[in-house]
Structures are given as structure tokens and as C-alpha cells.
Chain A
Amino acid sequence: AQSVTQLDSHVSVSEGTPVLLRCNYSSSYSPSLFWYVQHPNKGLQLLLKYTSAATLVKGINGFEAEFKKSETSFHLTKPSAHMSDAAEYFCVVSAGGKLIFGQGTELSVKP
């Protein structure tokens, strides 16, 4: 069965420092993986997606994620956090055409 685990429910960083949001997945075949972001009182916006092309995926707003099959991980990174990055982030795995969401990681950015 497919599943996704976000390893941190909350991450706090200072503005200008790197961001790392961790995600591990379980899939019986080559998965499609996504990261979504949800700003307060907003819908979900697609940040980036991996669909078996390049293992390093670049998304919007300077975010990127690396697919590591050997570690079954798809961690989200950004070199330098901005105040506007404060939001909740969801790692998502595709399973049989359905999307399975992780529990979310809330990112706080301190000035």
C-alpha cells in the first residue's frame, strides 16, 4: 500500500536560513510525488512534482526536492527562507490515480 510520512509536524527557521522539510514515502511501484503549500485561509497550491524524470525537481518560489529511491525520500528544500514562506506544506504520493496526503508540516519563519 502507498503511504507518505512527513517527519516533522512543525519546523521553525530564521529568515535567510535554509529550509528542509522531510518526507518519506512507501510505494510498491515507481511513484509520482508532489509538494503542495497552503497559506493561511487559502487553498492548496502545487509547488512541484516528480513523475520519474529528473530526480532533482525545481518548483516555484525557489523550492526544490530530490527524489531518492534508495532512501524512499522526497525532501523539500530552499536555500534561503523568506517570511512569505510561512505556511503548511504537504507531501503527496500518487497511488492508483489517487493522491494520498501526508499530515502536513507547518513552517514558521522568524525575522
Chain B
Amino acid sequence: EAQVTQNPRYLITVTGKKLTVTCSQNMNHEYMSWYRQDPGLGLRQIYYSMNVEVTDKGDVPEGYKVSRKEKRNFPLILESPSPNQTSLYFCASSSAGPGSYGYTFGSGTRLTVV
């Protein structure tokens, strides 16, 4: 089944403890992206990648890192999480440009930082 897989689905952590949210897609998509969803704000893009080793900042990149060493994987790294990063996170992928084709989204990771 074609899908975007995120792990974990739920995560509670403490301030300052480094964490990684994994994302993998099995559709051989070029584009991948991370979004965070907060009530009343819709989805905001954190980082995106147009291909292996090519990443760029989205609208809210502060406090996050990403890497794209393989086409299928696009992990999101929080080096020192803070409570304002408590949010619902979505990974997404697209075959040839989300502007034309839209994204396929993962099921989300609900992160709580205490």
C-alpha cells in the first residue's frame, strides 16, 4: 500500500531532551515536507526537501533540523525541545511538485513537551 509512515504516533518528552520523529514513504517521491498543526493556525511548513541532500526552510524552521540522506526517509530532529513545540506534526510526500499534485500525508505525530 502506498503510504507515508511516521513514528511514533504519540510522544511525551521533557524540555531539552533531544528527539527524532521518523518519516518514510514507499512511493519513490522526490518531494518531502514536515508541517506542524496548531489550533486556529492550520498547517505551517517547517522544512521541505526536493531531493536527496536538498533541504530548505519552510515558514517555521526555528528549533528543528532535518536530513535527507535517502530518498524514502526524512526525519525531523528536535535538538532541544521546548514547550512551544508541543503540536501535531505531519510528514508529507509528493511525486513531482506539491504545487501541482498536492501531498500525501502521514497519520501524524502528537508531541507534548513538558
Contacts and interface: CB of A to CB of B under 8 A. Distances in A.
Nearest to B45: A98
A103 B42 contact: yes
Contacts of B92: 44
Contacts of A45: 105
Contacts of B98: 94, 97-99
What class of interface size applies to chain B in its complex with A? 20 to 34
Interface residues of A, number: 24
B102 A99 contact: yes
Interface in A59-111: 90, 92, 94-99, 101-104
A103 B105 contact: no
A51 interface: yes
Most buried by B among A49, A51, A92, A99: A99
A43 B102 contact: no
Given A43-B90, A44-B90, A103 B99 contact: no
Nearest to B44: A101
Contact of A34 (B44, B58, B102, B106): B102
Contacts of A32: 99-100
A94 B31 CA distance: 14
B58 A51 contact: no
A51 B97 CA distance: 12
Given A32-B99, A44-B90, A49-B102, A102 B42 contact: yes
A104 B44 CA distance: 12
A104 B42 contact: yes
A42 B42 contact: no
Given A32-B100, A97-B97, A99-B98, A90 B42 contact: yes
A46 interface: yes
Interface in A32-49: 32, 34, 36, 41-46, 49
A51 B19 CA distance: 38
Interface of A: 9, 32, 34, 36, 41-46, 49, 51, 90, 92, 94-99, 101-104
